[in-house]
């Protein structure tokens, strides 16, 4: 609905009230209010096959982070000019719902979302047997309903579950885990406030965020994304911690996928 | 990306060479190609630099403009990046062809350079909450022969070193209105501290080894590469896995270590070179684009 600007006599420029909130402090060592230890991931709820039209789909919830992913295809590729037709193409679309963050976002994909799409694609690609789908493309659509931190990591897990649910041939599932390094403490699977935290005044040393995507059975890292300023040994430790975090997720994903398969093809009754 | 055709036999030859520590152009695995840097090449910019790394040619121009600081950080200025993939580099970039690569490159440049660890963003502040300097960093790719990231990052560092921002004075009238006055003396300038500006090192995994500064042929043989940005102190500011392959955890640790080592050794000669070039002043022989 168009708004009559003459009737509402607000100031010409306005700013979000969220700017004036005191930024949350990143909890110091072992002070996640006793809910979980610094090395713990949040409990994850994962289900497959909730979108009936899609070939495969998955829903994942970790704390307040909620993500839906759907997979369409394989279908004929749209881009005919692609020279390499021997392998299939994976297309990723990562979107944050406008209401997912504290501040309302736009429906149009911003540069941050495009960047996340590219990273998601690079993390998923090594896990999918694309050579089995020549001349075709597989579409992966991810939408974040609620952003409470570590969205990229959970999106990777969710998308690989949806791919597996859609019967796309894969070498392995891809699991994601994020970490927030704050000085000498590291918080695994950070929530939104932990992720930003004192980042605003983060002039300290060893500050940064790391996201790792792992193929657990092949023990291969398919995605690595680190920002901030860290020493090299801290980074190596952070990557190792993230890999442990991924392994912790594996049973949950495994269970959700088995459950989906059992429902689709019920075991014969004796 | 500009594509080269590499046959299977060539690939095998190249990969076997890398396995034994030999590369097609006679370099070792952690060597850069011949590099040429020239600053102050475009007169209409506040700072500019041109780098040629092998056959990769990049031109960077920095322009400073007065803008409004971001409401979340009222006492800091910021940098804007734009990468233009010129159709001169390869015909694929014609029209909107280079857009995808351009966006990818500029996104990474934001991550690497636009933070307070790399550039002292506070020095770009003119009047907190009201005015700040915005540095528009425009990158033009003139020729592509692999390893764009490293070349661009070095060129940006050189261009930022060369950047001179005019000094401004804020005067206040009786009603409390503020006015920005520009200094009359064109040499009355502010310089940026570029000491902490990182350089990007891209390591390409070829077979079981990794190489620095890969050419296009070498890149065609590699399925995954790791991009690491390193400051002069050896701090790692950004790591990205690029490409469609995956990496062994052990090789990631090896590659970050190598990246740190290579990146660290890149800074000192670069700064020395830039300072030496500047000390020549007017006596400096300009090379330009045909050098």
Instruction: Enumerate the domain spans of chain B.
Output: 8-280
Note whether B248 contacts A: Cβ–Cβ < 8 A. yes
CA-nearest residue to A126 within chain B is: B245
Note whether B117 contacts A: Cβ–Cβ < 8 A. yes
DSSP conformational letter for A20: G
Measured between CA atoms, how close is B235 to chain A, in angstroms? 5
Query: Cα–Cα distances in Å, from B186 out to A39, A221, B136, B167, B281?
Result: 56, 53, 20, 9, 16
What is the average per-residue pLDDT within B266-273? 90
Around Cβ A11, how many Cβ atoms within 10 Å? 6
User: In chain A, which residues have their Cβ closer than 8 Å to the Cβ of B256?
Assistant: 232, 235-236
User: In chain A, which residues have their Cβ closer than 8 Å to the Cβ of B236?
Assistant: 226, 229-232, 235
pLDDT string in tens for chain A (270-residue length): 566 666 767 777 777 777 776 655 544 444 566 677 888 888 999 999 889 999 999 999 998 999 999 999 888 877 666 556 778 889 999 999 999 887 788 888 888 888 899 999 999 999 999 999 988 899 999 999 999 989 999 999 999 999 999 999 999 999 999 999 888 888 899 888 887 765 445 566 778 889 999 999 999 999 999 988 888 888 999 999 999 999 999 999 999 999 999 988 888 876
Residue A124 neighbours by CB under 8 Å, 6+ apart: A90, A92, A140, A156, A159, A160, A163, A174, A213, A222
Inter-chain touch A203–B116, beta carbons under 8 Å: yes
Give the 3-state secondary structure of residue A158: helix
User: In chain B, which residues have their Cβ closer than 8 Å to the Cβ of A243?
Assistant: 249
Residue A220 neighbours by CB under 8 Å, 6+ apart: A126, A172, A214, B246, B247, B248, B249
Note whether B234 contacts A: Cβ–Cβ < 8 A. yes
Assembly ipTM: 0.87
User: In chain A, which residues have their Cβ closer than 8 Å to the Cβ of B264?
Assistant: none
Is the pLDDT reported for residue B214 higher than 70? Answer: yes
Q: What are phi and psi of B267, to 5 degrees?
A: -70, -50
Query: Which pLDDT value is given to residue B72?
Result: 79
Structure tokens at B202: 């891209």
Note whether A243 contacts B: Cβ–Cβ < 8 A. yes
Inter-chain touch B111–A227, beta carbons under 8 Å: yes
Note whether A226 contacts B: Cβ–Cβ < 8 A. yes
Inter-chain touch B248–A228, beta carbons under 8 Å: no
Inter-chain touch B241–A243, beta carbons under 8 Å: no
**How would residue B247 be classed by pLDDT, with cut points 50, 70 and 90?**
very high
Nearest by CB to residue A215, choosing from B107, B238, B246, is B246
Inter-chain touch A224–B244, beta carbons under 8 Å: no
CATH 3.30.70.330 fits domain A40-77+84-264: no
Structure tokens at A106: 């736009």
Note whether A224 contacts B: Cβ–Cβ < 8 A. yes
Structure tokens at A171: 């070498």
Q: What are phi and psi of B79, to 5 degrees?
A: -115, 145
- Within 13 Å of residue B144, how many CA atoms lie on the same side as its CB? 26
Is the pLDDT reported for residue B20 higher than 80? Answer: yes
Query: Which pLDDT value is given to residue A266?
Result: 85
pLDDT tens digits for range B76-104: 889 999 998 877 777 777 777 778 888 88
Query: Which pLDDT value is given to residue B93?
Result: 78
One of 3.40.50.10540, 3.30.365.10, 3.30.230.70, 3.90.230.10 is the CATH number of B8-280, namely: 3.30.230.70
Give the 3-state secondary structure of residue A254: helix
Query: Which pLDDT value is given to residue A197?
Result: 64
- What residues does each domain of chain A span? 40-77+84-264
B288 Ramachandran zone, left/alpha/beta (phi>0; psi -120 to 50): left
What is the average per-residue pLDDT within B167-176? 80
């Amino acid at each position: 609905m168009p708004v009559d600007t003459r009737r509402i006599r607000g100031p010409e420029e306005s700013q979000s009230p969220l700017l004036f909130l005191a930024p949350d402090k990143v909890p110091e060592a072992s002070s996640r209010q006793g809910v979980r230890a610094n090395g713990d991931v949040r409990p994850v709820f994962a289900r497959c096959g909730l979108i009936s039209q899609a070939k495969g789909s998955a829903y994942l919830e970790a704390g307040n982070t909620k993500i839906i992913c759907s997979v369409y295809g394989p279908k004929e590729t749209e881009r005919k000019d692609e020279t390499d037709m021997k392998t299939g193409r994976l297309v990723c679309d990562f979107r944050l719902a406008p209401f997912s963050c504290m501040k309302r976002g736009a429906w149009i994909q911003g540069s941050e979302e495009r960047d996340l799409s590219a990273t998601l694609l690079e993390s998923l690609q090594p896990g999918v047997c694309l050579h089995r789908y020549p001349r075709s493309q597989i579409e992966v659509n991810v939408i974040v309903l609620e952003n409470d931190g570590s969205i990229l990591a959970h999106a990777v897990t969710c998308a690989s579950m949806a791919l597996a649910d859609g019967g796309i041939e894969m070498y392995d599932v891809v699991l994601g885990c994020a970490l927030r390094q704050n000085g000498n403490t590291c918080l695994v699977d950070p929530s939104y406030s932990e992720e930003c935290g004192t980042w605003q005044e983060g002039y300290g040393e060893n500050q940064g965020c790391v996201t790792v995507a792992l193929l657990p059975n092949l023990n291969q890292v398919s995605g690595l994304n680190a920002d901030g300023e860290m020493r090299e040994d801290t980074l190596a430790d952070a990557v190792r911690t993230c890999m442990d975090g991924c392994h912790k997720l594996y049973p949950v994903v495994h269970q959700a996928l088995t459950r989906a398969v059992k429902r689709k093809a019920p075991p014969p009754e004796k | 990306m500009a594509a080269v055709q590499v046959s299977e036999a060539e690939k095998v030859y190249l990969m076997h060479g890398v396995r034994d520590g030999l590369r097609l152009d006679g370099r070792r695995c952690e060597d850069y190609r011949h590099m040429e840097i020239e600053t102050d090449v475009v007169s209409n910019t506040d700072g500019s630099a041109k780098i040629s790394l092998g056959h990769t040619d990049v031109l960077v121009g920095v322009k400073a403009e007065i803008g409004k600081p971001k409401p979340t950080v009222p006492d800091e200025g910021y940098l804007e990046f734009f990468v233009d993939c010129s159709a001169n580099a390869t015909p694929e970039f014609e029209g909107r062809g280079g857009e995808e690569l351009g966006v990818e490159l500029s996104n990474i440049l934001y991550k690497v350079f636009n933070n307070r660890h790399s550039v002292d963003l506070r020095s770009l502040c003119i009047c907190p909450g009201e005015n700040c300097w915005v540095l528009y960093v425009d990158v033009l790719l003139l020729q592509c022969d692999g390893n764009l990231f490293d070349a661009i990052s070095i060129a940006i560092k050189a261009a930022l070193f060369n950047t001179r921002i005019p000094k401004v004075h804020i005067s206040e009238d009786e009603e409390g209105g503020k006015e920005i006055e520009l200094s009359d003396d064109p040499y009355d300038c502010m310089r940026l501290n570029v000491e902490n500006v990182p350089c990007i090192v891209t390591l390409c995994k070829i077979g079981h080894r990794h190489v620095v500064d890969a050419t296009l042929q070498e890149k065609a043989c590699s399925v995954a590469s790791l991009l690491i940005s390193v400051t002069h102190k050896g701090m790692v500011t950004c790591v990205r896995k690029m490409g469609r392959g995956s990496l062994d955890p052990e090789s990631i640790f090896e590659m970050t270590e190598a990246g740190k080592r290579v990146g660290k050794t890149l800074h000192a000669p670069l700064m020395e070179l830039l300072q030496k070039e500047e000390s020549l002043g007017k006596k400096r022989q300009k090379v330009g684009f045909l050098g």
